[in-house]
Every structure is written in structure tokens, then in C-alpha cells.
A and B are shown apart, each in its own frame.
Chain A
Amino acid sequence: MKEGKYTFVQGNIACAEGALYAGCSFFGGYPITPSTEIAEFMSEKLPLRGGKFIQMEDEIASIGSIIGAALSGAKSMTSTSGPGFSLMQELIGYACIAEVPCVIVNVMRGGPSTGLPTSPAQSDLLQAKWGTHGDHPTIALVPNSVEEMFTETVRAFNLAEYFRTPVIILGDEIIGHMREKFRLPEPGELEVIDRKLPDVDGLCRLPYRADGKHPACLPNFGASRFHVTGLNHDESGFPTMDPSIVQESNSRIIDKIYHQRELIDKVETKYCEDAEMLFLAVGSAARAAEEVVEEYRRKGIKAGLFRPVTLWPFPKKQFIPYAEKAKKIIVPEMNLGQLRTVVERFARSEKVIPVNLVNGEPLDPEFIMSTIEKCSK
């Protein structure tokens, strides 16, 4: 083992630890299984370091509170699961258009509706992308280990602060609740990005002016008496219905993340170079897929795993070359084909073998292999 401080905790706790490492000082949340350990941990740790925890009256209030705190200068976070994530959608859009950095953790469970509160699922992959109304930027990260619950949470804060946009972490019940050993990074070991503040004395008159490809940098409340609104607005932050400005600004908030994809993209590939059977999977399903890939390789089958750690924006540039070479693309996921709809944009659907499980049981390697066998017959 590498030197250092090791810990053996649940994924949800690692996520909360990651938030603290990144400098999160405000948490607003509402209890919901299977994410509640995150709120519980933050309620204990934040006041010890002068931070603030509040249990709001519902998930809408939770995300409202973290946006308010973020505008006041705090790095802020909420955590939830499917039903609460649905309630948060409107204000995720608000954070997108008002360009407010915040982190939303969704520890996914079975759905729709109350569904299976204590069972794993990957039910919200597309909701994370398309849940709020209107065109908007989406950055969503999908950890697949307890360690990644920590490191991806740190990265989520960094991306939120840099790009001035909400960042979503899609955990799932398996990753959130299981305990696994990982080494706690030392302070300073992982990069921690703080928001850039405008370089002005006194009032910042154009808080929404972007500097080239760099996102606009809003001041914090208190430093500059500016205006924030969920209405379409111009560079000054005030509402406008000028078609050319609205066209430009609606595009800009999306373009800002696509202009610097290199800062966002993260994929893990295993044996993809010569893979004839290419697995595309995220989160806990990717761990099952990896086991199948290893098993196939032992049998001499050229299998490979493509795992987007950043799911949105989808890493198509990295995926397409492998997808083109592969004879079959297997998409195991704990839903009824959400990732498959994405894959089929880049690969012929005859090549795609969907592996879908929504019965509340974990998607295991045997199920993947038996589904592939059935499809191959």
C-alpha cells in the first residue's frame, strides 16, 4: 500500500469528504434514501469548520438555498435521489442561466416515482442531461468506486467553480452505500479550483461578459451591487428580450463548456484498442462490465471497456473510433436503455446489445453474460 492515511467508508461518506476537501462550506438538503448519509455527515462536519448546514423543507428549497449561498461566495452542495432530483430540475436550469456554481449529488435509485427507495438503479442518466426545461449546459460525472466518489466530488466543485455552472454527480445506491478502502489525499495533493472573481474596483457593470473562451466571472454578493435573474439577460445581468442578445447568451452558456472540453472530459478505457466487443458502461454497472471483459479476455475474446467518468457532455470524440472498430457494442445499464439511445447516435443499432435491468437487483456479470449469449443466438 502507498504511504498515507487510508479509510474504509461508504461511498456517500467519501463524497462528503471530497466536498469538504474541495472547500464546500454550505450544504442545503432534504433527507432521501439512499443519499442521506451525505447530509448527515455534512451536518456533523460543516459547523466544526465554521461552515453551514441546513435541512430545508424540500428539495426545491434545498437547491434554492445552495444557489443563494453560492452567490454569496460559498462553495455549496446538495444531495438527493430520484424524486428529489426531479423536484430540483427547475432550479438546476436557474443555476445554468444565472451561471451559479454549485454541486448536486444524485445517488440514483429505482423509479419512476417513489419506485424502489433502497435499491440501486441508473434511472436518471438522461434526466441529468435533459431534466430541466430549455437548452442548457450539463456536466455530469459518474463515479464507480468509493475513491471516485471522493475524487469526482472534488472535480465536480472544480468544474462548477471554473465554468460557473451546476455540476451533477450521479452516484448509485451500490456505490453510495458500499464501503471500500481508499487513501485520503493530503491537503494540496489534488487540485482545488476557486472561482475567479472579476478584476474591477467598485461595481462590476458587466458580470455576464465572457472573456474569449473563458466563462464570465460574476462577483460575489457584497463586492459589487449587481443583478441576478433567471430571465434572459444581457452582459449587465438585466433582463432583455433582444433576439440577438438572447440567441447569443443562450448559446454562450452551452458553448462555454464545449469550448474547453479538455478540462471536462474524462474516460477510462480498458483493452479498447483491439476490442471487437466493446462495453460501454458507467457507475456500478461498469464494474460488472469490467469483470465480464476480464472473463472474456481470459477466454480469448477481444473485449474492451469504455467508461465515461464524465458522462455529460458525452465523450463522443473518444468513443467513436472504438465504436467504429467494434463488431458489437454492449451497453449494460440499470435502466431500460438510456445510454443505448446515446450510443445509437454514433453506432448502427444492429451492433448494439442492450443489457437492461430495472428490478432493483444489482446488474451482475452473470446477467450481462447470459444476456449477450441470448442475443448472440
Chain B
Amino acid sequence: MFDYSTYLRSAKLPHIWCPGCGHGIIFKSLLRAMAKTGWNKDEIVLVSGIGCASRLPGYVDCNTLHTAHGRALAFATGVKLSQPKFHVIVVSGDGDSLAIGGNHFIHACRRNIDITLVVFNNGIYGMTGGQYSPTTPYGDKAATAPYGNVEPQFDVVELAKGCGATFVARGTSFHVPQLDDYIYKALMHKGFSVVDVVEACYTTHGRKQKTKYKNNLDMMKWQRDNAVPLSKAQTMSAEELKGKFVTGIHHETERREFVENYQALIDSLKGGKK
């Protein structure tokens, strides 16, 4: 049995998340993945922005930095570049990382800085009461979309790949063993890694979809029934994939990592080569 207490600030529990929220599941997955790395807790910096997911660092016994809305990656970039020995992990919701923090997201991908971003993608602004986010499904009702969402969605995986991230995976809060694996591999990857975790918020999102979900269990079933593993997805047509989300490690490649690259520059200047 995994001993979570080693990584928890137990005095800070219970957490703020609602019953049925996927955050706790992803949280535990992250802790197991962190433990598996064997990293020294003193050298882990866990950074977040604002939102439900962003409260996570407060519960973890390492260096923790709860920043401003959308800015986690900007702070994390400063931490990592100034102290490359730190293992920097960012946890962030879909609104935090893709809307207000979208600019930092695309540039972190482009730089390929050695940071892992876990997107707690529940498709809603939960903390502010269920307004639609860049990943709210089309047509779903939200506090600011009372007649149904008319905006298209970001595909986090495609966005990350397109912007240059070198490890991109998608999991769900239902498929937990796979999620452990994706997060662990993301942590071990050298370069910018993104794990898009599809999950659900019944309290502020599910309840508003009158017929779709009766309870939070239905939202877990929705994850179970609509996740398609990458291998299977390759055999399916676009029509068949509509409304599904493809899980697995979508992208894994090597490219010069930003901080190492900068250190190489410093070293070359010391050697008087420039």
C-alpha cells in the first residue's frame, strides 16, 4: 500500500474539493508518480495558478508556489531557469492554463523548458461557479452559457504538439493506472511535458446538463465510455471519433531543452569560445 503521508502536509487536509471531483484522483496519481521518481522533496517545486486544481500544492510536502491566475508557467520558468537542479511541476486547470495562461502555455511548449504541466481538464471554471472554459463541450450549459456553449474547444494535445512540447499524453481520472504511467513518464521526460487529464466537475458543470448526467458517477461513466486508446483510435473514422477523447502518449520526441541550452551557452562563454 502506498504511503501518501510521506508526501502530504497532513495538517492541511481535508482538501477543498467536492465529493465526486476528479482532482483528488489525479492528485494521488501525481503523488505516486512523484514517489516513483525517487526525487528529493527538497528539490521539487510544485507550482500552480488559481482555481480548484491550483490549491493542490498547499497539500504537498515540497517547495510549493501558488501563484496568480494563469501565471504558473511564468513563475515556474523563473524557478527552473534560475535553479536548474529543481524538478518543477505545474498543476493547472483548463481555464488557468489555456485561457488566461494560454500565452505562457504556448511559449513554454516552444522553449521546451524542462517542466511538467498537468492540466486538470474538467471543462469548466469550477471555483468561480461553472462558467464555460476553452474546453467546455459545445452545446453544454454553463453559468455564462445559459443557452448552451457556442464556442469551439481547444484540443490540449494538438495545441501542445503544435507549439513544440516534446512529451504529450492524455489520460482521464477514470483510467488511473494509465494516468500514473503518463504522469511518471512526463516527470522523467527531459523537456516540456504536458499531461492532459480529462475529468469532470459535477457540482458546477454536470448538474447543469439536465439530462446528460444524473450524478457524479455518470460523469465517471462518461469518461469510461468515451475514452479511446490511441491504438484503437487509429482504426476509427473521424465520424466515429466524434465526441470521444483519445488517450495515451500522443507525442514523445527529443529536442534541445531550454535550460540545458542556456547552460551550454554559459559554459561556452566561460571557455572563451564566443
Query: In the complex, A touching B, CB below 8 Å?
Result: yes
Interface class of chain A by DSSP:
mixed
Q: Which residue of A lies closest to B105 (CB)?
A: A57
Most buried by B among A61, A62, A94: A61
**CB-based contact B266/A50 at 8 Å:** yes
**CB-based contact B75/A229 at 8 Å:** no
**CB-based contact B74/A56 at 8 Å:** yes
A221 CA to B45 CA, complexed, in Å: 8
CB distance from B101 to the nearest CB of A (A): 10
- As a 0/1 sequence over residues 27 to 69 of chain B, the CB contacts with chain A under 8 angstroms (1 = contact) are 0000000000000011101010000000001100111111110
Chain B residues 70 to 90 lying within 8 A of chain A, measured CB to CB, are: 71, 73-83, 85-86
B238 at the interface (CB under 8 A from A): no
A225 CA to B46 CA, complexed, in Å: 10
B269 at the interface (CB under 8 A from A): yes
**CB-based contact A230/B67 at 8 Å:** yes
Chain A residues 217 to 240 lying within 8 A of chain B, measured CB to CB, are: 221-223, 225-231, 238-239
Partner of A64, one of B41, B61, B74, B266: B74
Partner of A222, one of B42, B65, B80: B42
Q: Which residue of A lies closest to B77 (CB)?
A: A65
Known: A73-B83, A225-B41. Is A68-B62 also a contact (CB below 8 A)? no
A158 CA to B103 CA, complexed, in Å: 33
A58 CA to B105 CA, complexed, in Å: 12
**CB-based contact A72/B67 at 8 Å:** no
- As a 0/1 sequence over residues 86 to 118 of chain A, the CB contacts with chain B under 8 angstroms (1 = contact) are 000011001000000000000000000000000
Most buried by B among A70, A72, A94: A72
User: Is the interface on chain B under 10, 10 to 19, 20 to 34, or 35 or more residues?
Assistant: 35 or more
**CB-based contact A227/B79 at 8 Å:** no
CB distance from B73 to the nearest CB of A (A): 8
A142 CA to B262 CA, complexed, in Å: 34
B176 at the interface (CB under 8 A from A): no
Count how many pairs of residues, one from A and one from B, have CB atoms less than 8 Å apart in the complex: 130
Contacts of A94 in B (CB 8 A): 67-68
A60 at the interface (CB under 8 A from B): yes
Known: A47-B262, A60-B71. Is A65-B42 also a contact (CB below 8 A)? no
A314 at the interface (CB under 8 A from B): no
**CB-based contact A69/B81 at 8 Å:** yes
Most buried by A among B9, B58, B63, B80: B63
Partner of A68, one of B78, B106, B270: B78
Known: A47-B266, A47-B269, A91-B71. Is A73-B82 also a contact (CB below 8 A)? yes
**CB-based contact A68/B76 at 8 Å:** yes
Partner of A227, one of B66, B104, B270: B66
- As a 0/1 sequence over residues 199 to 224 of chain A, the CB contacts with chain B under 8 angstroms (1 = contact) are 00000000000000000000001110
Chain A residues 35 to 84 lying within 8 A of chain B, measured CB to CB, are: 47-48, 50, 52, 54, 56-58, 60-74, 76
Q: Which residue of A lies closest to B63 (CB)?
A: A221
**CB-based contact B43/A65 at 8 Å:** no
B18 at the interface (CB under 8 A from A): no
Known: A68-B74, A68-B76, A94-B68. Is A225-B81 also a contact (CB below 8 A)? no
Contacts of B86 in A (CB 8 A): 72, 221-222
CB distance from B77 to the nearest CB of A (A): 5
A26 at the interface (CB under 8 A from B): yes
B265 at the interface (CB under 8 A from A): yes
B251 at the interface (CB under 8 A from A): no
Contacts of A222 in B (CB 8 A): 42-43, 63, 83, 85-86
26 A-B pairs (CB sep. < 8 Å) = A26-B78, A26-B81, A47-B266, A56-B107, A57-B107, A61-B104, A64-B77, A65-B77, A67-B67, A68-B78, A68-B80, A72-B79, A72-B82, A72-B86, A74-B82, A94-B67, A222-B43, A223-B42, A225-B41, A226-B63, A227-B58, A228-B64, A228-B66, A229-B58, A230-B68, A238-B58
6 extra interchain contacts, Cβ-Cβ under 8 A, other than A69-B82, A70-B78? Answer: A50-B266, A56-B107, A57-B104, A68-B65, A225-B63, A231-B66
A residues bordering B, Cβ < 8 Å?
25-26, 28, 47-48, 50, 52, 54, 56-58, 60-74, 76, 90-91, 94, 221-223, 225-231, 238-239
| 8 closest residue pairs by CB, A with B | A68-B78, A64-B74, A65-B78, A69-B82, A68-B75, A229-B66, A69-B78, A61-B74
